[in-house]
Amino acid sequence: MPHPLIGSTRHARPIDDDDDDDDDDDEMSLFVDKHRPRTLQSCTYHPDISKRLQSIAQSADFPHLLVYGPSGAGKKTRVVGVLKALYGPSTDRLKIDARIFVTPSNKKLQVNVVSSNYHLELTPSDVGSGNDRAVIQELLKEVAQTAQVDSQAKQRFKVVVINEADALTREAQAALRRTMESYSANLRLILIANSTSKIISPIRSRTLLIRVPAPTLDQVVQVLHAVAKKESLDANQELFTRIALESRRNLRRALLMLEAVYVQHHAVDATTPLPQPDWEVVVRQCSEEILANHTPSQILSVRQKLYDLLSHCIPPSLILKTLAWNLLLKTDDSLKGQVVHWAAFYEHRIRLGSKTIFHLEAFVVKYMRLVEQYLSITHLMPSQPSDRGGDSTYDQYSSAPDTSTSGGLVDQAKSQRGQLGSLDAAHESPEPEREKQGEEQGEEQGAKQEEKQEQGPADSRKMAAQGYAGSHKPDTEIGG
């Protein structure tokens, strides 16, 4: 099963390669690497962003950069162009080092670092959650404490490119912030992320944000035409449009699909089937099984497929996002909000926890539970709208449930019919009679209140008279 991010890293070449070996590498490279623009001027879309980056690279004070945008929009390509504008063509001579880092708990971590004489490129999130902080601290401190070796270099600082910066933990981002403050004289950082929502605000405030939006459908089609012309392939406008739509404006994915179509089919036309990544096919099968049956045995079957995806290094957040998207396509509109909420909830749990399979399976079970609750509610809802003017109390009992599914629902239906009869009697009583009953009740209550008011003063006068008589008895009685 291919990795979903194939082609996302640059084709690294050892320092001692010759030009002939470079030509051989280009012949063996994928379209996405072979036809990648090497400079900012050669980028085919977003020229305003390229001009802005070119001016920043030529300025005397180069800032820290945070380049963000959707996957396949061209973030990495423009970062490569910025490096070439800073240091020249020497940044193309790359080497890959397997660095070993030791955590405070004496755990050894191996990270592949792509580097040249002027910059380093790494992905700290590959070492797992909780370990990226040690990689950030050790590597950046080592780079920052080393001065520029080349005395003829255009810049006196080195650049460290950090991929997937939004996947870093908060502890690693805090360490990154302190490094930016302490070693800004010898070090510049270029962070690449899909979104800034997971980047802490101190880092966002210390970097210059550059957003690279996804190319339009027309721009994707133009790039496909240019690549097909360079490779001497038969261009088909309808096929290229289908590829652009299927790739969802992800240029990297569009180029991979283009190459796969022409490799698998000798003659292509507008109806040629487009290949899908294997992991997407497996996720689609999971969604179909979830929708088909809501049983424990089905959960076990889905769990096995999720294990297979994780074992092939498919990111769990990508699995969850794709699975939720496939489920939303076949979910009732009233449940879509809850499905999105729980998908975001378990994605956050995945970032915090270590056992990703638990959270993926929990989302599957939660979705099944939501659907079961929805089906149980809609089973007892009225089949036809009520004609009682929107009376919700009446609508609650306006139809009896289906007695064919359970014999115990017959008594419930009878009781509902009895309540319905009392409601009908209340609704059908004439208005004049209701008013007359209300007037009679009002008159009776008024008479009772008047009688109480009359009895009150009489009782008080009687009590006062008795008290006066008791206080003025004859003297004989007193003396005797």
pLDDT value at residue 450: 55
**Contact in structure between 41 and 50 (CB atoms under 8 Å):** yes
State the average pLDDT over residues 427-433: 45
Q: pLDDT tens, 453-478?
A: 555 555 555 554 454 444 444 444 43
pLDDT value at residue 464: 46
- Mean pLDDT estimate for the chain: 76
Question: How many Å apart are CA 334 and CA 341, to the nearest integer?
Answer: 13
Tokens of 386: 């009520």
Q: pLDDT tens, 345-355?
A: 999 888 877 78
pLDDT value at residue 364: 94
Q: Which of 134-143, 304-313, 409-418 has the lowest mean pLDDT?
A: 409-418
pLDDT value at residue 452: 52
Question: How many Å apart are CA 72 and CA 194, to the nearest integer?
Answer: 10
pLDDT value at residue 263: 87
Strand 119-122 relative to strand 158-162, pairing: parallel
Question: Positive or negative, the Cα torsion across 367, 371, 372, 374?
Answer: positive
Question: How many Å apart are CA 107 and CA 128, to the nearest integer?
Answer: 12
Q: pLDDT tens, 191-246?
A: 999 989 889 999 999 999 999 999 999 999 999 999 999 988 888 889 999 999 99
Supply φ then ψ for residue 196, to 5 degrees. Answer: -90, 0
**Binning pLDDT at 50, 70 and 90, where does residue 438 land?**
low
**Contact in structure between 54 and 10 (CB atoms under 8 Å):** no
**What is this structure's pTM?**
0.68
Residue 120 has pLDDT above 90, yes or no: no
- Which residue has better confidence, 125 or 360? 360
Does domain 37-211 sit in CATH 3.40.50.2300? no
CATH number of 278-379: 1.20.272.10
pLDDT value at residue 26: 57
Q: How far apart are the two ends of the chain, measured CA to CA in Å?
A: 122
pLDDT value at residue 131: 76
- Which residue has better confidence, 443 or 88? 88
Query: Which of 264, 259, 272 is CA-nearest to residue 233?
Result: 259
Query: Which of 30, 43, 26 is CA-nearest to residue 80?
Result: 43
The DSSP bridge partners found for residue 98 are 112
